A and B are shown apart, each in its own frame.
Chain A
Amino acid sequence: MNEAAQASAELTVEHDHGLHLRPAADFVRLASRYRSEIRVTNLTRAGGREADGRSLLQVTALGVNSGHRVRLTARGEDAGEAVRALSDLIRSNFGAGDHP
């Protein structure tokens, strides 16, 4: 048990639609596979709003548009894996589909 495990990453969302619609749903679906608590912060918008990575409505309310920087933070036993997988999803441009 390593309950204190924490991991984080900062990266840029390049998808044309940012973290909305399909990309946001893909993110939430992937985040839901991990046990760790996952938080997402929009670093580009003033105030640095934060969302529960498992809540589609909270994630979309961050207003992450293309080119925005986000911080992913996970806390829990699989924190490192979760941040790696979610970072990969963002870096892969959500499968690079051009639909929303």
Chain B
Amino acid sequence: MGRPPVSVGLLLVSHSARLAEGLRELVEQVVQGRVRIAVAAGSEDGGLGTSAVAISAAVESLAGPDGVLVLMDLGSAVLSAETALELLDPAVRERVRMADAPFVEGAVAAAVEASLDSGLDAVLATAVAARGQGKLG
């Protein structure tokens, strides 16, 4: 793993900053700095909610040729994420995917996949596959 961390970036979008930061802490523990992770969480006034402006800024902070996977805590974040994508430069937007995946399992599994230098679609597929992975086996 000698090359610099140019892998798919992960964006954690949550209604709660504490929830997203907690998940970031967990994911960091798993991938140990191999993957770039950003958080966009909470409303613009600091309460619970999501902000399209914050999401688009976070995507830009991660943007690169390898792309960005966006994970959301609840379906109600999807609208903000979609609005955020509209705010982005089309060249950036086309390298962004939203994952229809569970927030915690999806983020952890996607991070490990990204740490293998897998491409954006493979990281997306791994996140989505987490949907079928029951906790009770």
Contacts and interface: CB of A to CB of B under 8 A. Distances in A.
Interface residues of B, number: 17
A61 interface: yes
Given A28-B112, A32-B116, A58 B31 contact: no
Interface of B: 26, 29-32, 105, 108-109, 112, 115-116, 129-130, 133-135, 137
Contact of A55 (B29, B32, B109): B109
A24 B26 CA distance: 13
Interface of A: 21-22, 24-25, 28-29, 32, 49, 55-58, 61, 99-100
Given A22-B30, A25-B31, A58 B133 contact: yes
A33 B10 CA distance: 22
Contact of B112 (A49, A56, A61, A100): A56
Nearest to A49: B137
15 contacts: A21-B26, A25-B30, A25-B32, A29-B116, A55-B109, A55-B133, A56-B109, A56-B112, A57-B105, A57-B109, A57-B130, A58-B133, A61-B133, A61-B135, A61-B137
